[in-house]
Structure 1
Amino acid sequence: MNLTASERPRNSSLQTLRGHGGLVALIILLLFNAAFTPNFLQMQTLFVNISQVATIAIVAMGMTLVIATGGIDLSVGAIMALAGALAPLIFLSEFGAANPALGVALAIASPLLVALVCGLFNGLLIARLDVQPIIATLILFISGRGIAQVLTNGNLQTFSNPRFSYLGTGKILGLPFQGWLTVAIAIVLYFLVSRTTFGRYILAIGGNERAARLSGGPVARVKVGVYVICGGLAGIAGLIVVAINSASDAARNGSLMELDAIAAAVVGGALLQGGRAPIFGAILGAVIIQLVKYTLLANGVQDEVALIAKAGIILVAVYVQQARKE
């Protein structure tokens, strides 16, 4: 069907808006907060938001890789809780107290290793046993947080350890350490997706898994790999949350992070059917998710409403994805 002269520019403008919807939403949120939210432009507010965005963005980047293969990972919040529960147990132990530097090193390395093993568990169920991703990751979604609570006897673990707390409270050039870490991870993953054979297979599997198999691609290994990466990134985020709070709460660490991560990935441009892995888009999505949450809370709106707002964001993002196909 031929478009009239008046329809062409209107459709062109609509497509441009759809293509840059995330940036438009970010600008609107920033302008609204600058105008109506008290103390929004203060440096302390910036640091708080960077700290919150970093954990969402780190997990969202891992989720983006998983979604790019046509999968999903519901276990990221539970992996965060498990990694966060393990760390204080190590450096607060007798060995950790007697060897402070080594104790902190082990308190970082050991939980990350466990997080990677959790990702490996998910990946093997999905790639080798052909279990649906939502079912496979639901196992750790249910059991992972339970294991964390058993390890801590359901108690809040508080501590004072400047070495470990640097993960959450340290600064480089005046900006939070976890912000720099997020950027470093993004650069590495962007290179992985855009410049390596592994990255090309990720997109190929999400675009057409059957064709990827017929072409001789290592589909199973790539799928396992993305779940391992996602698990490891969830572990990093779990450690950051514990370091920020100087406390480990297995019941709350990573709670509903799977929702935030999926929302950030989708808002950032990841297609739920797979085939795209916009790493920096995931960071943009994380910023939007955090700003929505901050805006509502700073203006006296209940936290429950923020959950509804995030669900609405996912709905709009999915609609935009469908509209792009038309």
Structure 2
Amino acid sequence: MATDTAPLRRRFGLPRLVQDYGVYAAVAALVAYNAVFTPNFLDSGNLRTQLVQVAPVVIVALGMALVIGSEGIDLSVGSVMALAAAIIPLYLGFGVWPSIAMALIAGVFAGLFNGVLVAVVGLQPIVATLALLVAGRGLALVFADGQLKQLHNPDLLALGSDDVAGVPIVVLVALALTVVAAFLVRSTSYGRQLTAVGGNRAAASLAGLPVRRILIVTYILCGVFAAVAGVLATSRLTASDPSTIGNLIELSAITAVVVGGTPLTGGRIRIVGTVAGALVMQLVRATLIKHDLPDSTAQMAQAVIILAAVYVARERRTR
């Protein structure tokens, strides 16, 4: 009797396995390689440096994963980071927490702006967020008078330099937001509705889902995550510098999401995979640099990884 093996091929085919588990295998392989061939890679100081460097990318990528899961994109996250950085000094005289709160509120309004343009006005996400990519950093430079502002508040600077039980605060924040994002996606009606909207927006609307509200909330969350990353980047830099904070981080975030297995076509969100994707890109860059290869080589390697991830995702869709 003939047996239809198509369902098994779809479930266990190479593209499916690579997209589902390839990023974790890549992290393990890179760690193993560096443990053997890179001097002092496993030293606590080096591991701390790698984690601290990747933490802002992870945070931004988590918000990006939600947006991409809705079949959208957000090119403005770097500018939102810069906007948060510019706002902190303006309110630091009222205390560190009011200044952070105002920075996060800026993230809310940035996300609301993007969400309304996408969900209500009907602009393409790449066009809507491109507007804030340009205007957001310009506004940040206006708030900062175009100048770098050195910060001296010890409570603010502690966010970027202190540890809790030996773990840097920036890493703990990234871990906490990973748990929050995973909970939203896997355990709430919002997460289920978000993947439904990303999978087929017209069908979701016909089914009575509040598509506009879901999209607006998603872009707001992305804006808040970017603002958090901006606060942490500012505390690490010990200065508010809107001209450099968040530059090109949108590309790193999108890369982490794609490499982590979330398809650009939406309808599926891999939170843990996104974190692993950010780790892969960080480890690739660190590995090449530690072996005396120029940063341009690392950038080309990352480009190859992106193309491979997109190709695997396409192959999976066509099977």
TM over 0.5: yes
Please give the per-residue CA displacement for 1:267-323, whole angstroms capped at 9, x wherever unaligned. 111110001111111111111111122222222222233332222221111111112
Please give the per-residue CA displacement for 1:147-180, whole angstroms capped at 9, x wherever unaligned. 1122222222222222001221121110111211
Cα gap change, 1:72 to 1:14, in 2 (>3 Å): closer
1:224 paired to 2:226:
no
Aligned to 1:191: 183
2:59 match: secondary structure: helix
TM-score norm. by structure 2 comes to 0.92
After superposition, residues 63-82 of structure 1 pair within 5 angstroms as 63-82=64-83
Give unpaired runs (5+ residues) of structure 1: 97-101
After superposition, residues 166-315 of structure 1 pair within 5 angstroms as 166-315=158-307
1:128 match: secondary structure: helix
Runs of 4+ in 1 over 4 A off after TM superposition: 1-4, 11-15
Aligned to 1:90: 91
1:321 paired to 2:308:
no
TM-score norm. by structure 1 comes to 0.91
Give the number of aligned pairs: 312
Aligned to 1:139: 131
**1:165 aligns with one of 121, 146, 157:** 157
Q: Distance in 2 between matches of 1:131 and 1:215?
A: 23
1:51 paired to 2:39:
no
Greater shift after overlay, 73-82 or 279-288? 279-288
Greater shift after overlay, 244-253 or 222-231? 244-253
Q: Distance in 2 between matches of 1:12 and 1:128?
A: 40
Q: In the TM superposition, what is the alpha-carbon distance from 1:145 to its structure 2 partner?
A: 1.1
Aligned to 1:26: 27
Greater shift after overlay, 286-295 or 16-25? 16-25
Q: In the TM superposition, what is the alpha-carbon distance from 1:230 to its structure 2 partner?
A: 0.1
Q: Distance in 2 between matches of 1:141 and 1:17?
A: 33
Cα gap change, 1:108 to 1:126, in 2 (>3 Å): same
Give the alignment's Cα RMSD to 1 decimal. Answer: 2.0
Greater shift after overlay, 292-301 or 265-274? 292-301
Aligned to 1:36: 37
Please give the per-residue CA displacement for 1:1-23, whole angstroms capped at 9, x wherever unaligned. 9999xxx9xx8567534532101
2:95 match: secondary structure: helix
Q: Distance in 2 between matches of 1:16 and 1:127?
A: 34
2:116 match: secondary structure: helix
Cα gap change, 1:16 to 1:70, in 2 (>3 Å): closer
Q: Distance in 1 between matches of 2:189 and 2:243?
A: 39
Aligned to 1:122: 114
Please give the per-residue CA displacement for 1:18-57, whole angstroms capped at 9, x wherever unaligned. 5321012112211222223232111111111111121111
1:216 match: secondary structure: coil
Give unpaired runs (5+ residues) of structure 2: none
Cα gap change, 1:301 to 1:252, in 2 (>3 Å): farther
Q: Distance in 2 between matches of 1:14 and 1:129?
A: 37
Is 2:15–2:312's contact at 8 Å kept on the other side of the alignment?
Answer: no
Q: Distance in 2 between matches of 1:40 and 1:248?
A: 31
Cα gap change, 1:269 to 1:37, in 2 (>3 Å): same
Q: Share of identical aligned residues, percent?
A: 44
2:209 match: secondary structure: coil
Q: Distance in 2 between matches of 1:71 and 1:275?
A: 10
Greater shift after overlay, 118-127 or 285-294? 285-294
